[in-house]
Each structure stands twice: as C-alpha cells, then as structure tokens.
Amino acid sequence: MNISIDVQEQEKQTTIKLAGEIDAYTAPKLRETAFPYTEKEEADIVIDLSGVTYMDSTGLGVFVGLFKSLNANNGTMKLIGLSDRLKRLFDITGLADIMNINSGSEGGV
C-alpha cells in the first residue's frame, strides 16, 4: 500500500498530485504533507486524484480535515481527476455537495 505525493507551488496556487492508495496506512502521510499548505491565509489548493486507485473512509477524513482548515483560513480547495468510483464515494457521503469537485482528468486547473 503506497501513495505518491507530488507538490507543486506556482504563485498563489498549490497543486498536490496523488497516486496510489489512500487508506489507513497512507492517510497520515497525506495529512502530514498537505496540512501545512492549508494553514496559509487564502491558500488556493488543487488536488489531482487522477492517479488514485483506491480510497477508504480514512482518506475521506483527511479531505474533510483539509477542507475545514482551508475554510478557517479563507482558502479554497478543488479536487480534480476523480475516477467514477471516487466521484461516487464523494457523492454518497454528501461531500460532493460542499466541496469543489471536477471529475475527469481535464478538471480545469
């Protein structure tokens, strides 16, 4: 169970590209890497999930935490590149109603 996290900062936007599985084993690494970016005032974060093959509830919890941290600091988060399976996961949990989600790899960064 591995996860690859690639962070690119360009001017005011931070893009975090993920690949692999987001589960109880890899979620702490994702949280540790991504949270510092959410604590900046008015951060603009794009998370590319096009390389994610699996995500469980632990992964969803990380995204909820990131979302809350960004909201507290007047920041924004956009999720792009969701597979149909991941999109469904966000839909079922109701997170798709509160988070900015663009499915498909063309997500519009």
Q: Tens of pLDDT along 62-89?
A: 999 999 999 999 999 999 999 999 999 9
DSSP class of residue 83 equals: -
CA angle 50/59/18 to nearest 5° reads: 30
Q: What is the pTM of this model?
A: 0.90
Architecture of domain 19-103 in CATH? 2-Layer Sandwich (3.30)
Domain residue spans of the chain: 19-103
